[in-house]
Amino acid sequence: MPDLYFYIVLFVLGACIGSFLNVVIYRVPEERSLMTSSACPKCDTPIPFYYNLPIFGWLILGGKCASCKAPIAWRYPAIELLTAVLFTLTYWQTGWNAFLPVALVFVSTMIALVFIDADHMILPNVITYPMFVLALAVRIVYPVAFGSIFTDTLYWPVSMMHGQPAWLMSLAGALLGALVGGGSLWLVGFLWKLLRGVDAMGLGDVKMMLGVGALLGWRLSLLTIFAGAFAGALIGIVILSRQKDKTLQAQIPFGIFLGTGAVISLLFGERMIGWYLARFM
């Protein structure tokens, strides 16, 4: 059962990376080092390695710090479990190939951004900028090193470059994706500001979509924004309907929905677009 073996490996790897993402989510907004060992947020006692086991460490401790008994949020094991599940889903969709590590890094980045945005309403540049650069590098190197073709190069308008080197078509697709992903979001924010006179979203969302667009291409970036806007609208309505003061401007960290939409697009986007085009076009 080699396949089952890979699923288990990906699950365990995901749980460990999820443990690291907890540190990233907790420390990056405070600009603290990621390298020092993890400690109880309350009493600062370093957590011994045997309790640092993802998911199980928290269960063994009963959700309490071993030293001061302060409760440890269930979100920590939940993020480890979420990462583990998304890693196995990614393997299921991608298979064992050169693109898998890229997809796993992408999913991890989205998880970190989603939870940092939820906590602090920011999408840190130290994450969004490197993601954009890394996405461009992958789009240039991968067609040369692995001969893999990013799906957006098969479609208009990049497909019109047929005959050009694969890396150049891939790079053009990446830049177009960044322009469509980041640009359309910037435009929405710009128009909203014209109409309502308030900032609807920060530039963090635009920068995040530069990286998402560069890796996924223009079709999947649009799907990311539609899926994100759809989820954001649904949840926004719930938040607004619960709000007593209707004049309050509800602040919604849009990065949460973009990150969710981006993971859905990465894993199932091509199939969703194919299904949609077959049915309605």
Would you tell me which residues interact with Zn ion (CB under 5 A)? 40, 42-43, 65, 67-68, 70
Q: For the beta carbon of residue 14, count every other beta carbon within 10 angstroms.
A: 28
> Rounded distance, CA 63 to CA 76, Å?
10
User: What CA dihedral angle connects 227, 28, 180 and 264, to 10 degrees?
Assistant: -30
Helix 255-280 with 203-242: angle, nearest 10 deg? 90
* Least distance CB 75 / Zn ion (angstroms): 16
Q: How many CA atoms lie within 13 A of 211 on its CB side?
A: 29
Is 32 or 42 the residue whose CB approaches Zn ion more closely?
A: 42
* Least distance CB 42 / Zn ion (angstroms): 5
* Least distance CB 176 / Zn ion (angstroms): 50
Is 47 or 272 the residue whose CB approaches Zn ion more closely?
A: 47
* Least distance CB 51 / Zn ion (angstroms): 11
Token representation of residue 10: 């990906």
Is 77 or 182 the residue whose CB approaches Zn ion more closely?
A: 77
Q: Are 106 and 266 in contact (CB under 8 A)?
A: yes
Is 30 or 44 the residue whose CB approaches Zn ion more closely?
A: 44
Q: How many CA atoms lie within 13 A of 189 on its CB side?
A: 17
* Least distance CB 40 / Zn ion (angstroms): 3
Q: Are 63 and 74 in contact (CB under 8 A)?
A: yes
- For residue 263, what are the contacts with CB-CB under 8 A and spacing of at least 6? 86, 107, 110
Give the residue among 139, 146, 76 at the shortest CA–CA distance from 106. 139
Is 62 or 157 the residue whose CB approaches Zn ion more closely?
A: 62
Is 5 or 50 the residue whose CB approaches Zn ion more closely?
A: 50
* Least distance CB 45 / Zn ion (angstroms): 5
Secondary element (H or E) of residue 129: helix 125-145
Is 69 or 271 the residue whose CB approaches Zn ion more closely?
A: 69
* Least distance CB 44 / Zn ion (angstroms): 7
